[in-house]
Structure 1
Amino acid sequence: MGRQGNDGKRPSLHFWFDFASTYSYLSAMQIETVAADRGVMVVWHPFLLGPIFRKQGWETSPFNLMPAKGRYMWRDMERQCEVFGLPLVRPDPFPQNSLLAARVAHAARAEPWIGAFVRAVFYAEFGAGLDISDPSIIAGILLDVGADAAAALAKAETMDVKIGLRAAVSEAETQGVFGAPTFISGRGELFWGHDRLEQALDDALVLSD
């Protein structure tokens, strides 16, 4: 059983992810299970890296801008997916347009099916090579996780959700997020990259004075 904070609440770990991010795929497929084993609650933060990258003068993923880095990343993803028993298909194009998926996830981030939805979107993209910008793909995933697909897609197109997702990007920047996946513990410690997930969970369990 996990430890509790001084206020009696379960410790939490904030998970910032972009559906277009390869390493976010690895984390998304594991985080809910490993966090539950440690008694840590996952707080889901879908956001978009594109606006943050553009402020750096990047119009696409740095893995595209730096071919050597991109080659390494795909080989590393092959190795990591083999370790974790995950399929890997390179999306075409890469990165995918993740706006619709991010809006749906942002609107549903407190729903009981959010974890299943996030995993299914990542699996569709990186496990099956599907186009996650296609509303029919997202609708099918919503139905599979037991959500009202029509209502969820309609909500994703509301101005409140569009503004909310833009605000999430601004919040990410304020928190110091510059890449995905990023984990922030309840103490405010930031950890970047899938290989920091276990360390982030350890920090989430540290009780504040």
Structure 2
Amino acid sequence: MAEYAARYAEERHWDVFPGTWLERVDGSPVLRCSCGDARCEAPGAHPLDGRWSGDATGSATAARRMWAKVPHASVLLPTGRTFDAVDVPETAGCLALARMERLALPLGPVTSTPDGRMLFLVLPGAAKKVPALVRGLGWSPGALDLATRGEGGWIAAPPTRMGTKGSVQWACAPTAANRWLPDVEEIVAPLAYAAGREAATARAS
């Protein structure tokens, strides 16, 4: 995990910080979050404590030092710094991704989580823009399963394992071609459209 964290810091200039991890209970096959809370809502994928914002670093050397102390720690990335993230259901995300590729829209890295979500990385500031943009497209923000993660938030980076469901993966991996992130204004329309279709399908069923 240390090398993944160092690579994100060195190659993408993303801040990183260690999170919790999964561990076995008394040698049994049962896995639990290292925080020890049996009811943990994000087992193996949340900050170690409330100091995470100040601990986050963009230095690969500092990242390796951090993970040397907690080698099994998950890799978490703070939002609101070098990027924000638009969070949608996986089905809507796949539809939006296909539409963006057909329209040749600019696209940044996209993660897929084992709990059925996709997160599209965009330039910082999206969290403040999205509600007005969605309303401008004719949708009520509250009617769509479309959220943003900005300042004060974080996302789990691949290959962080989340609970017993599996690991976070790249649906669209970081490459030289997507080093420059899109502004949310460039991709919000297909995301809102896809989230709207999913909402309509859910209501019909």
TM (normalized to structure 1)? 0.27
Structure with higher helix content: 1
Q: Which has the larger radius of gyration?
A: 2
Structure with higher strand content: 2
Bigger relative contact order (CA 8 A; separation at least 6): 1
